[in-house]
Amino acid sequence: MRLSDFTVLSFDCYGTLIDWESGIWAALQPLVARAGGALAREAALAAFARHETAQEAATPGLVYSELLALVHRRLAAEWDVAPDATADRAFGASVGDWPAFPDSADALAYLGRYYNLVILSNVDRASFARSNLRLAAGFAGIYTAEDIGSYKPDPRNFRYLIDRLAEAGHPPDEILHVAQSLYHDHAPANRCGIKSAWIDRRQDSQGWGATPAPDGTVHYDFRFAGLADMVAAHRAEQRGA
């Protein structure tokens, strides 16, 4: 199997293109300080993953910025911090402040010369629009949880992706899903029959960070430490073609 076998790259955004763990940790600093300042980054990210997953299951139709505000409130309660609605809303609005990974914009610019690029993300459109200012990418399709009414790993999100791309003339075997989260992306891609590339952004870190651990065995067809490595692999294919 070669990267050049595909015509569409569908990207997860947060964790893959946007460094959401750094963004989340930075946005949590006021709450961490109010909790006494002793919380370690990895423990805070794991708590975020637990509460975000539970909230997405409980309120699948809620806009992501509003959902994040509820996650912040849940974290405050867990960490014995008095509720603060203003702080909750500020955390929910922080998505556009989260930084892009250093290789994201250049990689998208390169890959866009060879593929149709689309987004499949657990986010709302307004938040993604702010993030895309950092990515500077022209995506052929942007499919968000706000559009679909559910959050990955719900299979409805991937069926929506498949259906929209089929309408544009791209069958499932032309799609390569590019993502960091085995739980949110690769497991449901497996179930829907889509090939995938794992961008293993946490390969030098222990644990699962801001995502839950995957259930059972998850398959992926390519593995790269970052998008720059994916671009290098594609360049090598082009030289050998």
Main-chain dihedrals φ then ψ at residue 135, nearest 5 degrees: -90, -30
Q: Is the same domain home to 13 and 57? A: no
User: Which of these three, 96, 125, 158, is where a domain ends?
Assistant: 96
Q: Is this structure's pTM higher than 0.75? A: yes
User: Which of these three, 46, 67, 96, is where a domain ends?
Assistant: 96
Distant-in-sequence, close-in-space partners of 35: CB < 8 Å, separation ≥ 6: 76, 79, 80, 81
Q: Is the same domain home to 122 and 66? A: no
CATH number of the domain that residue 10 is part of: 3.40.50.1000
Q: How confident is the model at residue 241 (pLDDT cuts 50, 70, 90)?
A: low
Q: In Å, what is the CA distance from 158 to each residue of 172, 176, 196, 209? A: 10, 12, 12, 23
- Going by C-alpha positions, the residue among 60, 63, 87 that lies closest to residue 74 is 87
For the cut 70, the answer to whether the pLDDT of residue 217 exceeds it is: yes
**What mean pLDDT comes out for the span 24-51?**
95
**What mean pLDDT comes out for the span 173-202?**
96
Name the domain count of the chain: 2
Determine the 3-state secondary structure of 189 from DSSP: helix
Q: Is the same domain home to 75 and 190? A: no
The Cα–Cα gap between 30 and 51 comes to 18
**What mean pLDDT comes out for the span 30-58?**
95
CATH number of the domain that residue 52 is part of: 1.10.150.750
Q: Is the same domain home to 228 and 206? A: yes
Question: Which range (159-163, 196-200, 215-219) has the least confidence?
Answer: 215-219
What's the pLDDT score for residue 207?
85
What's the pLDDT score for residue 204?
83
Q: Is the same domain home to 92 and 139? A: no
3-class secondary structure per residue, 118-157: EEEECCCHHHHHHHHHHHCCCCCEEEEHHHHCCCCCCHHH
Residue 224 and residue 197 in contact, taking contact as beta carbons nearer than 8 Å: yes
Furthest-apart CA atoms within the chain: distance in Å: 61
Q: How many CA atoms, within 13 angstroms, populate the side-chain half-sphere of residue 19? A: 17
Q: Is the same domain home to 89 and 108? A: no
Tell me which residue range forms the domain holding 52: 21-96
**What mean pLDDT comes out for the span 189-206?**
93
List, for residues 170-179, the tens digit of each pLDDT value: 999 999 999 9
What's the pLDDT score for residue 32?
96
Q: Is the same domain home to 76 and 194? A: no
Q: Is the same domain home to 86 and 125? A: no
Active site residues: 12
**What mean pLDDT comes out for the span 233-240?**
92
Q: Is the same domain home to 131 and 214? A: yes
Q: Is the same domain home to 63 and 166? A: no
What's the pLDDT score for residue 38?
85
Question: Which range (14-18, 115-119, 216-220) has the least confidence?
Answer: 216-220
**What mean pLDDT comes out for the span 107-117?**
97
User: Which of these three, 96, 124, 157, is where a domain ends?
Assistant: 96
List, for residues 139-161, the tens digit of each pLDDT value: 999 999 999 999 999 999 999 99
Residue 118 and residue 142 in contact, taking contact as beta carbons nearer than 8 Å: yes
Q: Is the same domain home to 228 and 136? A: yes
Hey, which bits of the chain come out as E strands? 8-11, 116-121, 141-144, 175-179, 195-199, 222-224
**What mean pLDDT comes out for the span 192-214?**
92
Q: Is the same domain home to 68 and 162? A: no
